[in-house]
Structure 1
Amino acid sequence: MGVVTETGTDDASLPLAGYTVAVTAARRKEELGALLDRRGARVVYAPAIRIVPLSDDTELVAATREVLAKPVDLVIATTGVGFRGWLEAADAWDLPLVEHLLPARVLARGPKARGAIRGGGLIDAWSPESESSAEVLSHLLSGAEGPLEGRRIAVQLHGDPLPDLVAGLRETGAEVLTVPVYRWVLPEDVSPVRKLVASIVAGTVDAVTFTSAPAAASLLTVADELGQKAELVAALKDRVLPIAVGPVTAGPLDAEGVASSQPERARLGALAREVVARLPERDPVLEIGAHTLQVRGFAVVLDGRVVELPPGPMAVLRELARRPGHVVPRSDLIGSLPGGKDGHAVEMAVTRLRAALGAPVVETVVKRGYRLAL
């Protein structure tokens, strides 16, 4: 059984205190998790994919031999770790890949790919400012690298088949060789992903981060297998915030009509900052008499201190905060409680809520319901 690791803090000065953020990444998950943890988040790890090791990938061996069969005119390196891994794997297999690519024009999609090209003893010829495959395609279609018809172009893939780039090049009459340097597949233990699907549907996760398109697609696939894809998509469109590292990563979400937040640059640090920028802004700070209150994910920030609440009291407070100052009938609060329950359960939840907050935040309006004491 897989284990979902969680961390967290009660330091209200940290912007993500009281929020739960899921990490679906397989590679560098600890790095992203640490960035979120330092900002106060409770981090849930559910790697939605795993990488097939290069040395075990017969598909990569076959693709490399195909590249070596004839001279190559252009090479597109899409990721640093992928291109570096390809060169290292070829060397381990005693295949003269670097020597074969020396006469070719090597294009780098971004700075990390450029570093891998140079580190491998090759020369990078060009790199797009946007670090996008779309700009690479536009550059090639513009004729900047000469006519493409009849030329051999090797495209290093990074888990995503890059259909737009590959199809666009093939339409020019070029011979396009795709090199799947590493492949994404479902993790051997899918239980953390299944648990994450349940948490998203239940709304106990506040944000889900995605660093690759295959991870987003994998989460949707697992939800579909569980018969909960519609519920997952609905949750990602509503309370749970999806945050993708870039537009390519967001592709599977876009296909389901799920809009995601994205940082300006496709970097882990920028992704963590995007979570900080987007999560707290959804929850307004309320002035309740002499007190300030912000309802977050699993906790509230009351007068600068984090107060973690059980699900029942939190559900009641969240419902009251949606209509600050207005009386919320008991019937509405019953519907907000986990499992529905009854009027007595509402009274118990309010009692526990008042005890936890230790401040006169919730008022009883006789025979009508409850409201925040604005």
Structure 2
Amino acid sequence: MVESVPLTGFALGVAAEADHEVLVTALCDAGAEVFAASVAGPGRVAADRLLDLVTCRRLDALVLTGAGAAQRLTNRAARRGLAAELHAALSPEVVVACLEPLAEDVRAIGWDVPVSAPHLDSLIRTLGAYLCSRAPQLAVSGRTLAVRGRAVLVDGEPREMPPAAVALLRVLIRRPGHVVSRAELLRALPGGRHKPHAVDSAISRLRATIGDPRLVQTVVKRGYRLTADD
């Protein structure tokens, strides 16, 4: 049973070469939001969308149906000039998962595979436990915040945020009570070059989504910090 380690609130991608209906259904039944794309064949729209979600850190995990799917996604990233972005996003932010018979083949391509299991049910349980253990979570001003792929959980309630706001919250929540400079936050924004005021816009959206502007404090001429309970 997957109820003991639900995937509720997590955003997962599925990179598939063939039929993936059973896998997607199982992940959805476990509570995940799933974006599945076939990376084989002439169609590129879905594959490019999946690649964009990974490189912008909008997914918590990428589940592979085969080593060929990883290779095709790698090749597509190279053709689009996103090879470095794909490598930087995988594992540190977006966890790669697959069944054990495939894990070594995927690692041979150069991808780290921190989550693998012998069958689908155990893969879901293992992935759920892994994601829950590493998900940024913090008690702030009497509330509990937890980051998911596309959202923040505020006292367990999922609230979707723009990619930039999620990216900044990931940085702030890992250093509660400490000032994070505007320059560092600017570098954390997805999508390449941004003007400095993009940080202020993302912080405003973050505050609006959380619903309490006191949670993210402005430190004049220094940056921002996330208040944290003792």
What's the TM-score once normalised by structure 2's chain length? 0.84
> Are 1:352 and 2:197 counterparts?
no
Distance 1:199 1:188 in 2: 20
Which secondary structure does the structure 2 equivalent of 1:250 belong to? helix
Give, as a single letter, the amino acid of the residue that structure 2 aligns with 1:45. A
Distance 2:41 2:180 in 1: 45
Percent identical pairs in the alignment equals: 39
Query: What do the CA deviations read for 1:242-297 (whole angstroms, capped 9, x no partner)?
Result: 10111x312343124322134442x2222222321222221132111311111121
Contact 1:326 1:372 in 2 (8 A): yes
User: Which of 115, 121, 132 is equivalent to 1:280?
Assistant: 132
Alpha carbons of 1:264 and 1:271: their partners in 2 closer, same or farther (altered >3 Å)?
Answer: closer
Distance 2:80 2:196 in 1: 33
Q: Which residue of 2 aligns with 1:309?
A: 161
Contact 1:285 1:294 in 2 (8 A): yes
Alpha carbons of 1:220 and 1:350: their partners in 2 closer, same or farther (altered >3 Å)?
Answer: closer
Q: Which residue of 1 aligns with 2:37?
A: 46
Distance 2:42 2:27 in 1: 26
Give, as a single letter, the amino acid of the residue that structure 2 aligns with 1:366. V
User: Which of 57, 71, 82 is equivalent to 1:203?
Assistant: 57
Deviates more, 1:336-345 or 1:196-205: 336-345
User: Which of 91, 98, 104 is equivalent to 1:251?
Assistant: 104
> Are 1:31 and 2:22 counterparts?
yes
Deviates more, 1:186-195 or 1:34-43: 186-195
Distance 1:346 1:236 in 2: 24
User: Which of 358, 361, 364 is equivalent to 2:218?
Assistant: 364
Contact 1:17 1:306 in 2 (8 A): no
Aligned pairs for 1:1-374 within 5 A:
15-48=6-39, 186-246=40-100, 248-265=101-118, 267-338=119-190, 339-359=192-212, 360-374=214-228
Alignment: residue pair count: 223
Contact 1:363 1:372 in 2 (8 A): yes
Contact 1:18 1:308 in 2 (8 A): no
Q: CA deviation at 1:348?
A: 2.6
Query: What do the CA deviations read for 1:283-317 (whole angstroms, capped 9, x no partner)?
Result: 13211131111112111111121111112222222
Query: What do the CA deviations read for 1:127-166 (whole angstroms, capped 9, x no partner)?
Result: xxxxxxxxxxxxxxxxxxxxxxxxxxxxxxxxxxxxxxxx
Distance 1:288 1:236 in 2: 28
**Bigger Cα Rg:** 1
Please report the RMSD computed on the Cα atoms of aligned residues, expressed in angstroms. Answer: 2.4
Contact 2:5 2:128 in 1 (8 A): no
Distance 2:27 2:147 in 1: 19
Give, as a single letter, the amino acid of the residue that structure 1 aligns with 2:175. R
Q: Which residue of 2 aligns with 1:91?
A: none
Q: CA deviation at 1:202?
A: 2.5
What's the TM-score once normalised by structure 1's chain length? 0.54
Structure 1 gap ranges (5+)? 1-12, 49-185
Contact 1:287 1:293 in 2 (8 A): yes
